[in-house]
Chain A
Amino acid sequence: EVQLVESGGGLVQPGGSLRLSCAASGFTFSSYDMHWVRQATGKGLEWVSGIDTASNTYYPGSVKGRFTISRENAKNSLYLQMNSLRAGDTAVYYCARGFGGGDSAIFDYWGQGALVTVSS
């Protein structure tokens, strides 16, 4: 059974840093792209970052230069390092499984999310 479990959320002051983790199980982690998606309370979904199997990384303009996605295949883990946090970064952060090659689905499995609150 595919499982994605986020951890590391919490309260952080504006300008601070936080690192989220996503523990993956039930599939060959190293063979899949992975993504982070966030959702502010009462708002829509926003793609935050992606990493492919070669560890090439992708970001939207809203977080580029502040957030860093990385992976550690030996530990079946995905990370999101978030720096220079702002109130607008307050959201639930989800990790999601991406493309796995061939005709595989994308964004098929999601974790339950980790809440990040940026406030003084």
Chain B
Amino acid sequence: QTVVTQEPSLTVSPGGTVTLTCASSTGAVTSGYYPNWFQQKPGQAPRALIYSTMKKHSWTPARFSGSLLGGKAALTLSGVQPEDEAEYYCLLYRGGAWVFGGGTKLTVL
């Protein structure tokens, strides 16, 4: 059973830059894991941000970007806005199954 690990919480100042990461217990994350990133605010359904490592949806703000970094999938927010405060989840594909990370609570302070 693959375990996907994210930072439990991060804090960033408005206008700053922050990188969230997503690691797999099976080893280095590659493009073959099709990393996805989602944003979720309280009381709302998840909103898709990034798919297939770095591809953006039509609604994804330009300040969000996806990449592979040091064997992990990464989501970078540049020029953070107060409205970016939310829970962020990564999702990886492994062995015929999809596995979510535990989520990162991003605080903008």
- Interface residues of A, Cβ cutoff 8 Å to B: 35, 37, 44-47, 50, 58-61, 94, 105-113
Contacts and interface: CB of A to CB of B under 8 A. Distances in A.
Contacts, number: 56
Nearest to A112: B45
B51 A61 contact: no
Interface string B40-53: 10000111100110
Interface in B50-103: 51-52, 55, 57, 89, 91, 96-103
A45 B48 contact: no
A45 B89 contact: yes
Nearest to B102: A44
Nearest to B59: A108
A105 B57 contact: yes
A115 to B, nearest CB: 12
Contacts of B57: 105, 108
Contacts of B97: 47, 58-60
Contacts of A108: 48, 51, 57
Interface residues of B, number: 23
B103 A45 contact: yes
A118 B45 CA distance: 21
A78 to B, nearest CB: 16
Nearest to A104: B51
With a 10 A CB-CB cut-off, give which of A46, A50, A105, A113 has the most chain B CB atoms. A105
Nearest to B34: A106
B26 interface: no
B51 A105 contact: yes
A114 B105 CA distance: 24
A35 B36 CA distance: 14
B90 to A, nearest CB: 10
A3 to B, nearest CB: 12
Given A44-B89, A45-B46, A107 B100 contact: no
B5 to A, nearest CB: 12
A37 to B, nearest CB: 8
A45 B1 CA distance: 16
